[in-house]
Amino acid sequence: MGKRDICITINGREYRGEAEPRKLLVDFIRDDLGLTGTHVGCEHGVCGACTVLLDNEPVRACLMFAVQANGAQLGTVEGLAPSATELHPLQQSFWELHGLQCGFCTPGILLTAEALLKENPDPSEEEIRDWISGNLCRCTGYQNIVAAIQDAAKRMTPIRKPS
């Protein structure tokens, strides 16, 4: 089947392109749209390197076809930082607490963590580990990843002034 037109909103901006139905969403984002922050790991849905946010929920972009995302709202790691000169609190925490080494799994983990903290701003360690269990890291042993997410959660908690 020939190529289809695709229009996706990613990080608030509209992107257009075309793709064969069999083109995976992760390949479309990377190759056709040039957003290479999302990584391709296993291509069968176990490693989480391809994690993107679809309507704010983390999903595996290697298990969706680009044509399925036509008209959808996506978030990728490129959309995390509030500006070109500021880091998202999660990125800041990962940096300071060594939550990454090679960085291959990191975009997927950052997005998963962002979704977690939106749903549960004060997760326990067990809850954090449960959420990131779908993201594999070969470098860090996860300890600093968990610490970084806990640190970011603290940073992101608004300070309440006593009344």
Partner 1 sequence: MKPAPFDYYEPKTLPEALNLLAQFGETAKPLAGGQSLVPMMNMRLARPAQLVDLNGLRELKSLKVENGELCIGAMTRQRVLERSAIVAAGWPLLQEATRYVGHVQIRNRGTVGGSLVHAYPSAELPVAMTALEASMVLRNPQGERTVLAGEFFVDAMTTSLKTGELLVEVRVPQVPLRTGWSFQEVSRRHGDFALMGVAGLLTLRSDGTIERARLVFCGATPHRASKVEQQFMGQRPESALFREAANLAAADLEPDSDIHASAEYRKEVAKVLARRVLEQAAARALVAS
Residues that bind partner 1 (CB under 8 A): 1, 4, 20-22, 24, 27, 43-45, 48, 51, 54, 57-60, 62-65, 67-68, 112, 115, 129-131, 133-134
Backbone angles phi, psi at 22, to 5 degrees: -80, -5
Q: How far is the CB of 34 from partner 1 (least distance, A)?
A: 19
Closer residue to partner 1, CB minimum distance, 10 or 24: 24
Residue 57: CB minimum distance to partner 1, A: 4
CB of 10 to partner 1, least distance (A): 17
Closest CB to partner 1 among residues 44, 161: 44
Question: What are the start-end ranges of the H helices in 4-161?
Answer: 25-27, 89-96, 106-119, 125-132, 143-156
16 beta partners = 7
User: Closer to partner 1 at the Cβ: 22 or 138?
Assistant: 22
The CB-of-115 to partner 1 minimum distance in angstroms stands at 8
Cβ–Cβ under 8 Å, residues 41 and 24: no
Please name the amino acid found at residue 150.
Q
Torsion angle, CA of 10/15/20/21, rounded to 10 degrees? 40
Closer residue to partner 1 (CB): 98 or 138: 138
Q: How far is the CB of 68 from partner 1 (least distance, A)?
A: 7
**Which pair of structure tokens corresponds to residue 53?**
């946010």
Tokens at 67, concatenated:
């044509």
For partner 1, the closer of residues 35 and 59 by Cβ is 59
In a 13 Å sphere around the CA of 29, the CA atoms on its Cβ side amount to 33
